[in-house]
Structure 1
Amino acid sequence: MTAGRVVFTDMEEVRYGKPAGQSVAALVESYGAERVFVMASGTLDRETDEVEKVRRALGNKCVGTFASMPAHSPRSAVIAATRQAREAKADLIVTVGGGSITDGAKAVQLCLANGIQSVEEIDKIRAADVKAPVVRQISIPTTLSAGEFSGIAGVTNEATKVKEMFRHPLTIPRAVILDPEVTRHTPMWLFLSTGIRAVDHCVEGVCSNESTEFTNASALHGLGMLARGLPRVLADPKDMKARLDCQIGSWLSMGGLAAGVPMGASHGIGYVLGAVFDVPHGHTSCIMLPWVMRWNKPANADKQAAVAAAMGHPGKDAGDVLDQFIADLGMPRTLGAVKIGREHFERIAKQAMGTPWVPRNPRLIHGPAEIQEILTLAA
């Protein structure tokens, strides 16, 4: 008999396919929020009217906007946003942007609840007795990395160049709004590469030794939607049905992670590539996932077969299917493509061993030497 455990999150709802402003206004009204703080992509705020549409929908309930969050959510920017939200006496945060905005706001929730005032004090929110967020979050994502469906905030410690994880069940957004129209402004490379990040969630979730029938169902269906949807968006950027399919696929991609299924070496190595070398989230998955799959195949060939079938290529090698799919989208596929040479492999390998995912990779990784084997494949 199979035994298992599936954890459900504290997210209350997902709204999709309607204008973001309309949906956010309805949610704010239902929550009784009066002082809404907006955290948004700086480019989206400066160069489009999407953030302004949200502010207009909020009316006089909007008490400020923070639009200065760099990639990988550095601690200093989290503190700056926390100060602004605290001064504004915010009772709700609305995010409009990609994964760095989303994760930054999750960390802000914890900083507000725990009285964090400085970069150094952020260490306090890693404690087991951290206070629960009171100021919650609504997320309007513009990319497909799907962090809005997780209670984990990835924040980069600029002093150590390490991406740290902060978590609490209530850091997950209270609601997510999927509006494909908002993604029109996302650069194509970013939309597609974060789509591969979502593919990575699906694939490493299915291939995990700790996956369940429930999480596999979500991940495999999400993988199929992404495999079909991403090429359609590339072929026709105005295809809103394809964009929404990708958004829903990215939502489904997080079923495993949200339910407690760990990711593997692609995510673990990717954390280091992002924090140390500033490689975008999506590109880390484009580069590492096929090579990790090939290295893992002796341990989980049956699960990899399910991945290839979900992507429309039954009987093919999953690593090869993923490699070709990523190539067809025009994404980088080697470490050399992002100017990371072999002289960095020792550092990457050592640091990756300290991530939460590498120790739970489906093929056991005993030490840095095996990480270097994977990096050499990806060179």
Structure 2
Amino acid sequence: MSRSFRHFDPGSRILYGEDCLGQLSAELRRVGAKRAVVFCGNTIARSEPGLETVRAALGEFCVGAFTGVAEQSPLPSVEAAARLLAERDADAVVAIGGGSAVVTARAASILYGEGGDIRDLCTVFTPGAAPKSPRLANPKLPQFVIPTTPTTAFAKSGAAVTVEDGRRLALFDPKARVQALFVHPAFLRATPWRLTLDAALDAFAQGVQGLESARREPLADALLIHGVRLIRQSLDDARDGDSDAARRDLVLAAQLIGQGTDFVGAGMASAIGHAIGARCAVGNGHAKAVVLPHTLVFNSAATQGRLAELANALEPGSGGDANALAGTCTAFFASLDVPSRLRDLGVPEEALPLIAADAAQDWFITQNPRAVSAADVVALLQVVW
């Protein structure tokens, strides 16, 4: 008997092309917005195309810019952005950048909408119990994004904010989803390839983990399998020469994977990658690429029979064995010159216990297809270090 499932698609609006920013003000008018604040980091604030390009496209709709976006969305940056939204009486946000820009804009909008201490708005992790996110009832500002990297954050409704000791605070509010995505080739083209690659590796790892899930269903499978296959194809093509088409397809693949994992979740590799990124200033994608082959093997007892379609999409004729898929992923990452050990990413051995503790407080650890203990995480980290 087939398993019951529910698939409620929140919908998305994606505009691609050199002329897509010409529709930005129309999209703001569609939601009744008149006072947008632009979010970006210092580099994009000084670049061309960049902040001034978007200001010109917004015209009178732009009432300010927050240029303090930083990697891993640190709490002081989010709080400063929320204050600016209040000062400018903003009714929309436009984020330029990758995951950090999207998450900072989303988290600031949640804090601005709810008020109070951000710690009171976060998901609570209690040992032995499922994570619990408070219901955030107030309206949120509509979100618009001009991407520079292929992050899955475009399709999500959560935000993770980093605090002083390296831990992440998780926020969740479906009202903070992106309203429209403006995929402009010049913004993608101007991004250093290392940042594009890291985001693509992150999306790839999420897609693979989504297909390990016991909650898989046909519509999510279609999104995830094609998204993972498109990343593999686009990164292979990019080795023969970077192209607008490859960068565009990576963004579209990340959108597919972001949507697919909304229904099935991720797992252990994402939890560990997030902890490494926040603690050690390492790109989440590279961290996940190091651990993913090992988590595939760890989960193999629980995922047998689920991975055949993915394995054959990545390596025709390879079968559905998790160990074979782990080998395919290892070879793929090696072809991209991605390190295979955490030490080669600059992760110090003494940080491993803290990384393990942080991973235990990550939403995705609860979605892993096989139950994970603290000892399991420590043991895996020691192997991959």
Alignment deviations for residues 46-81 of structure 1 (CA, whole Å, 9 cap, x no partner): 132232211101112211111111101011000111
Q: Distance in 2 between matches of 1:165 and 1:308?
A: 32
- Give the letter aligned to residue 106 of structure 1: R
Map 1:29-48; keep pairs closer than 5 Å: 29-48=29-48
Q: Which stretch of structure 1 is more off in the superposition, 193-202 or 334-343? A: 334-343
Alignment deviations for residues 122-174 of structure 1 (CA, whole Å, 9 cap, x no partner): 1132362423333211111111121010001111122x321121011111111
- Counterpart of 2:330 (choices 323, 333, 338) is 323
- Give the letter aligned to residue 247 of structure 2: R
Q: Distance in 1 between matches of 2:110 and 2:327?
A: 41
Q: Are the aligned partners of 2:151 and 2:255 in contact in 1 as well (CA < 8 Å)?
A: no
Q: With the length of structure 2 as denominator, give the TM-score of the two structures.
A: 0.91
Map 1:30-69; keep pairs closer than 5 Å: 30-69=30-69
Large movers: runs of 4+ above 6 Å: none
Q: Are the aligned partners of 2:140 and 2:176 in contact in 1 as well (CA < 8 Å)?
A: no
Tell me which residue corresponds to 1:306.
Answer: 309
CA displacement at 1:7 relative to structure 2 = 4.3
- Counterpart of 1:204 (choices 209, 214, 220) is 209
Q: Distance in 2 between matches of 1:336 and 1:265?
A: 19
Map 1:219-298; keep pairs closer than 5 Å: 219-237=224-242, 239-259=243-263, 261-298=264-301
Q: CA 1:41–1:313 in 2, change beyond 3 Å: closer, same or farther? A: farther
Map 1:19-168; keep pairs closer than 5 Å: 19-116=19-116, 121-126=117-122, 128-158=134-164, 160-168=165-173
Q: Distance in 2 between matches of 1:87 and 1:9?
A: 34
Q: CA 1:305–1:3 in 2, change beyond 3 Å: closer, same or farther? A: closer
Q: Which stretch of structure 1 is more off in the superposition, 124-133 or 164-173? A: 124-133
Q: Distance in 1 between matches of 2:120 and 2:365?
A: 25
Size of the alignment, in residue pairs? 371
Q: Are the aligned partners of 1:37 and 1:94 in contact in 2 as well (CA < 8 Å)?
A: yes
Q: With the length of structure 1 as denominator, give the TM-score of the two structures.
A: 0.92
Q: Distance in 2 between matches of 1:372 and 1:134?
A: 39
Map 1:293-372; keep pairs closer than 5 Å: 293-315=296-318, 317-365=324-372, 367-372=373-378
Alignment of 1:178 onto 2:183: yes
Q: Are the aligned partners of 2:294 and 2:326 in contact in 1 as well (CA < 8 Å)?
A: yes
Across the aligned residues of Structure 1 and Structure 2, the Cα RMSD in angstroms comes to 1.9
Alignment deviations for residues 243-283 of structure 1 (CA, whole Å, 9 cap, x no partner): 21111111111122222x12110011112112222222222
Q: Are the aligned partners of 1:224 and 1:312 in contact in 2 as well (CA < 8 Å)?
A: no
Question: Unmatched 5+ residue regions in structure 1?
Answer: none
Alignment deviations for residues 74-124 of structure 1 (CA, whole Å, 9 cap, x no partner): 1100011111121111111000101011001111111111124xxxx1113
- Give the letter aligned to residue 336 of structure 2: L
